[in-house]
Structure 1
């Protein structure tokens, strides 16, 4: 299996991206309005494609200034442990930098510490409030 091809700001198929999220994280499998959300809020997004199949995804939202936030990093379970997630995040970092942001934040669970450190992030303490 060859490395998936990365595409930046590709036309998002709500069904394909919702299916990817369900495969990776579980859930009801409801189709979400990804394309509209990304168009409105994202600084940029990156997808990993095996042929025409979306097998990985990440995006960043911004504050309109110096800060952006990594969200929804996901790789299809069948494509994990091959460097796809790291390639996605590294490409996202480059794209966010090119967009003029100077800070990129990411929140993650403790088991992902090694992954995000390998992508160049320094761990910090953060807070979370479920609304």
Structure 2
């Protein structure tokens, strides 16, 4: 079972390797400055290698946001993403968040519902 670490601050190379495997593209940016402003981020490690990750951004107040949930394709369907989300939820609550938001594509509805998220009406503008 992978080790779950709170705020591990993985290197850019570690995140790029995971991102490339999980999303099929290089990481879009260096996450260093992003993670330093996050409420928390959670990593899953197997044999000291980053195999799962989730970031929790926040507004500095009571709202937090799940971003970048990623699990290496070779490690999927083992409950790792669920553990990451549950741990991120726990830490966000402990650090004062009262609401945890997530946006996701329709095929992930069942997963996020199982993690405790309920549907809401929301809006979205694509800026780029």
Tell me, yes or no, whether TM beats 0.5.
yes
Root-mean-square deviation (Å): 1.2
Q: Does 1:121 align with 2:89?
A: no
Unaligned 5+ segments in structure 1 are none
* Cα separation, 2, equivalents of 1:32 and 1:48: 20
Specify the alignment match of 1:34 in structure 2. Answer: 31
Moved over 3 A (4+): none
TM-score w.r.t. structure 2 length?
A: 0.94
* Cα separation, 2, equivalents of 1:7 and 1:73: 14
Specify the alignment match of 2:59 in structure 1. Answer: 63
1:32 Cα deviation after fit: 2.7
TM-score w.r.t. structure 1 length?
A: 0.92
1:30 Cα deviation after fit: 5.2
Please say which of residues 104-113 and 30-39 is displaced more in the overlay. 30-39
Aligned pair in 2 of structure 1 residues 30, 73: CA closer, same or farther (>3 Å)? closer
Candidates 97, 104, 111, aligned match of 2:100: 104
1:31 Cα deviation after fit: 6.9
Unaligned 5+ segments in structure 2 are none
- C-alpha contact 1:107 1:126 (8 A) present in aligned 2: no
* Cα separation, 1, equivalents of 2:27 and 2:35: 17
Q: Does 1:78 align with 2:74?
A: yes
Specify the alignment match of 1:48 in structure 2. Answer: 44
1:103 Cα deviation after fit: 0.3
